[in-house]
Amino acid sequence: IKAATKKLDMKTQVETVIPLPKNIVMANMEYQGGTFFTETRKNELKRYQCSSCHNNKKVPIRNAANISHADIKVVHGEKDSPLACNTCHSKDDRDFLVTSKGSKIDLDHVYDMCGQCHFRQKKDWIGGAHGKRVTYWAGERVVKNCTSCHDPHSPLFKKRWPATYSVPLN
């Protein structure tokens, strides 16, 4: 049991076959094997930096907010009371998310935002039971971020049949 729970030894570890992805950031927590990385988020956003529009300057285009955010449909939270934009997005600094206590969260660390409510899934994600690993099992651990799989504004997956069929092991 002691051998199975030892910390990972980077000197004796098998080298990865695939090089690490470029757009990753070190997670700001550790799991039982040490530090790990997750995919970045900001480089995936079409309209980042948010502060380029969300500032104190007057916007000359009528209905600019509706036009620029028309593709966002919020289906997150209770059916009768979905979350508001400012539940997650900072009112004061639009380039950040904000916790329920007012602390800023960088968009590349969105798991800290999601984990406030979805704490069981975050715990499973940290341990490796929820989410998907980007690299092989050997080498540095790089996992997908919450928003790599879930749309943050409408995160629930629709019910569907499995994408592949596994042949029985006989």
- pLDDT tens per residue across span 118-127: 999 999 999 8
Q: Are 161 and 153 in contact (CB under 8 A)?
A: no
Q: Are 63 and 52 in contact (CB under 8 A)?
A: no
Predicted confidence band of residue 138 (pLDDT cuts 50, 70, 90): low
Residue 51 Cα distances to 55, 97, 166, angstroms: 6, 12, 47
- pLDDT tens per residue across span 46-85: 666 666 666 777 777 777 766 677 677 777 777 777 777 7
**Token representation of residue 82:** 């979905």
Q: Are 155 and 76 in contact (CB under 8 A)?
A: yes
- pLDDT tens per residue across span 139-169: 788 999 998 888 887 777 777 777 777 777 7
Predicted confidence band of residue 1 (pLDDT cuts 50, 70, 90): low
Q: For residue 135, which of 20, 27, 32 has the smallest C-alpha distance?
A: 20
Predicted confidence band of residue 3 (pLDDT cuts 50, 70, 90): low
- Res 121: pLDDT: 92
CA–CA–CA angle 38, 39, 45 (5° rounding)? 145
The verdict on residue 60 lying in a domain is no
Q: For residue 139, which of 14, 39, 27, 23 has the smallest C-alpha distance?
A: 14
The verdict on residue 32 lying in a domain is yes
- pLDDT tens per residue across span 79-94: 777 777 778 888 887 7
- Res 109: pLDDT: 93
Number of domains in the chain: 1
Number of H helices, E strands in the chain: 5, 5
The whole domain housing 126 covers 24-54+73-149
The verdict on residue 163 lying in a domain is no
At position 105, the amino acid (one-letter code) is I
Burial class (CB in 10 A: 0-12, 13-18, 19+), 38: buried
* First-residue to last-residue Cα distance in the chain: 31
The verdict on residue 38 lying in a domain is yes
The verdict on residue 118 lying in a domain is yes
The verdict on residue 114 lying in a domain is yes
The verdict on residue 10 lying in a domain is no
CA quadruple 7, 10, 14, 17: dihedral sign: positive
The verdict on residue 61 lying in a domain is no
